[in-house]
Amino acid sequence: MFESKNPQRTPISELGEFGLIDHLTKDTTIKNTNTALGVGDDAALIDQGDHYSAISTDLLVEGVHFDLSYMPLKHLGYKSVVVNLSDIYAMNGVAEHITVGIAVSNRFPVEALEEIYAGIHLACERYGVDLIGGDTTASQSGLMISITAVGRVEKGMEAKRSGAKDNDLVVVTGDVGGAYMGLQILEREKQVFLENPEMQPELSGHEYILERQLKPEARKDMVELLKALEVQPTAMIDISDGLSSEVLHLSQSSGMQFNIYENKIPIDPSIYTLCEEFNMNTTTVALNGGEDYELLFTLPIADHDKIKANPHLTVIGYVREGSGANLITRDEKVIELKAQGFKHHG
Ligand code: ADP
Ligand code: MG
């Protein structure tokens, strides 16, 4: 056994998720000259000569990232793949391969795993990705799925978090906040069910946001669109933790200040009525609700004409010399954005 040299017991909460990653990886040394980009972006980049390989891992844990009382197993398999591919697309790459690690307790029958794999296969089919390996092991209690995605990025096409320049525009694909509101509906109906198991869940009318939560899609189509429009993002990230948190990641990695207009953030109309019902602030939901898996990127203002007619791409702000990120509110007040990545429920 290794003896611990340090008897201190620092709570992880003191560092937070990103502080912890920094702390654990700060002494990492790069020994191979083909490691073009290591820890700190959506995916690492390995130099393969004429192109890069992009590699990214995500781990999903029962009770932390998903709740099987409302997450169908097939959807879980599908979502596990999609959230990983999203990180490859965030590098402006094409996802090609995945490996799947799964830890499962004996409370799951073979049929349950078949369901998960039906979802995994469906995602592989839809996104043109090959399942090439993995690992299977027992777990004491919950279910865990860890997926590694590998993709290909053409040299000169790579979009890191660090490339945003003074005067660039900030653009988001699709809309944000939906996945979080879908989760609110599911949590509400779960409570109703727990109190009264006779009640049927009231889910109709919420199809869009439920799909955003239970069956998200990664924006492969947007990477293809940017290529067709001949737009090279200067920086890019996918929105997994929430718009606010991702804007701050781009700001920090690029060493630039980001300014976002509240009234430009794309939000599905159904979310306004729902936020009223839940007594929530729509902007807070759009900024801090995670799991939308949209892409957030910057591009030179000279490219504005190439994207401005496209309904899937919304300019939400601009980049300036400086640091941090600001929200310019509807009444033109400037509020500093905080890194409030939304905690996954649980
Ligand atoms: P994303 O939300 O895009 O999946 P994360 O916030 O999970 O990114 O991770 C941020 C960066 O830290 C990534 O580059 C990731 O590879 C790296 N990272 C996360 N956890 C670890 C770990 N335990 N050891 C080494 N690197 C890690
Ligand atoms: Mg990411």
Q: Looking at the predicted structure, is the pLDDT value of residue 343 above 60?
A: no
How big is the chain by its Cα radius of gyration, in Å? 21
Going by CA atoms, what residue is nearest to atom 23 of ligand 1?
A: 21
Question: Is residue 269 packed enough to be buried (19+ CB in 10 Å), middle (13-18) or exposed (0-12)?
Answer: exposed
Tally of CA atoms within 13 A in the half-sphere of 157 that contains its CB: 24
Is residue 297 within 8 A of residue 239, CB to CB? The reply is no
Q: Looking at the predicted structure, is the pLDDT value of residue 340 above 70?
A: no
Going by CA atoms, what residue is nearest to atom 2 of ligand 1?
A: 240
Among 93-97, 168-172, 245-249, 335-339, the minimum mean pLDDT is found in 335-339
Instruction: Give the distance between the most distant pair of CA atoms in the chain.
Output: 62
Q: How confident is the model at residue 204 (pLDDT cuts 50, 70, 90)?
A: confident
Q: What average pLDDT is seen over the chain? A: 93
Ligand 1 midpoint to CA 345 (Å): 19
**Would you state the torsion angle of the CA atoms of residues 86, 259, 281, 206, taken in this order, to the nearest 10 degrees?**
-30
Tally of CA atoms within 13 A in the half-sphere of 48 that contains its CB: 13
Going by CA atoms, what residue is nearest to atom 3 of ligand 1?
A: 42
Q: Looking at the predicted structure, is the pLDDT value of residue 346 above 90?
A: no
Tally of CA atoms within 13 A in the half-sphere of 224 that contains its CB: 6
Tell me the per-residue pLDDT of 250-281, one tens digit each, with 9 for 90 and over.
999 999 999 999 999 999 999 999 999 999 99
Q: How confident is the model at residue 1 (pLDDT cuts 50, 70, 90)?
A: low
How far apart (Å, rounded) are the C-alpha atoms in residues 183 and 174? 18
Q: Looking at the predicted structure, is the pLDDT value of residue 342 above 50?
A: no
Is residue 298 within 8 A of residue 170, CB to CB? The reply is yes
Nearest atom in ligand 1 to the alpha carbon of residue 25 is: 25
Residues 6+ positions from 213 with CB-CB distance below 8 Å: 178, 179, 180, 182, 183, 186, 291
Ligand 2 midpoint to CA 321 (Å): 24
Q: Give bridge partners of residue 94 from the DSSP assignment.
A: 152
Return the exposure string of 85-123: e unless at least 16 CB atoms fall within 10 Å of the residue's CB, then b: bbbbbbbbbbbbbbbbbbbbeeebeeeebebbbebbebb
> In the structure encoding, which two tokens stand for residue 56, read together?
């990214």
Pocket test for ligand 1, best of 21, 244, 247 (most atoms within 8 A of CB): 21
Pick the ligand that lies closest to the CA of residue 54.
1
Amino acid at 202: E
Amino acid at 178: G
Dihedral over Cα of 266, 268, 273, 279: its sign: negative
CA distances from 42 to 91, 184, 253 (A): 7, 27, 12
Pick the ligand that lies closest to the CA of residue 219.
2
How far apart (Å, rounded) are the C-alpha atoms in residues 266 and 260? 12
Is residue 231 within 8 A of residue 306, CB to CB? The reply is yes
- Closest residue by Cα to residue 55 from 40, 43, 47, 73: 43
Ligand 2 midpoint to CA 280 (Å): 26
The predicted pLDDT at position 15 comes to 87
Q: Looking at the predicted structure, is the pLDDT value of residue 167 above 70?
A: yes
Ligand 2 midpoint to CA 287 (Å): 16
Q: How confident is the model at residue 108 (pLDDT cuts 50, 70, 90)?
A: very high
Nearest atom in ligand 1 to the alpha carbon of residue 28 is: 25
Averaged pLDDT, 231-238: 98
More confident position, 23 or 266: 266
The predicted pLDDT at position 288 comes to 94
Q: Looking at the predicted structure, is the pLDDT value of residue 198 above 60?
A: yes
Q: Looking at the predicted structure, is the pLDDT value of residue 197 above 90?
A: no
Nearest atom in ligand 1 to the alpha carbon of residue 237 is: 3
Q: Helix axis angle, 73-89 relative to 220-228, nearest 10°?
A: 30
Q: Looking at the predicted structure, is the pLDDT value of residue 166 above 70?
A: yes
Q: Looking at the predicted structure, is the pLDDT value of residue 344 above 80?
A: no
Averaged pLDDT, 84-102: 98
How far apart (Å, rounded) are the C-alpha atoms in residues 346 and 343? 8
Q: Looking at the predicted structure, is the pLDDT value of residue 170 above 50?
A: yes
Pocket around ligand 1 at a 6 A CB cut-off: 21, 24-25, 39-42, 58, 87, 240
Ligand 1 midpoint to CA 83 (Å): 13
Averaged pLDDT, 139-148: 94
Ligand 1 midpoint to CA 40 (Å): 6
Tell me the per-residue pLDDT of 25-71, one tens digit each, with 9 for 90 and over.
898 899 999 999 999 999 999 999 999 999 999 999 999 999 998 89
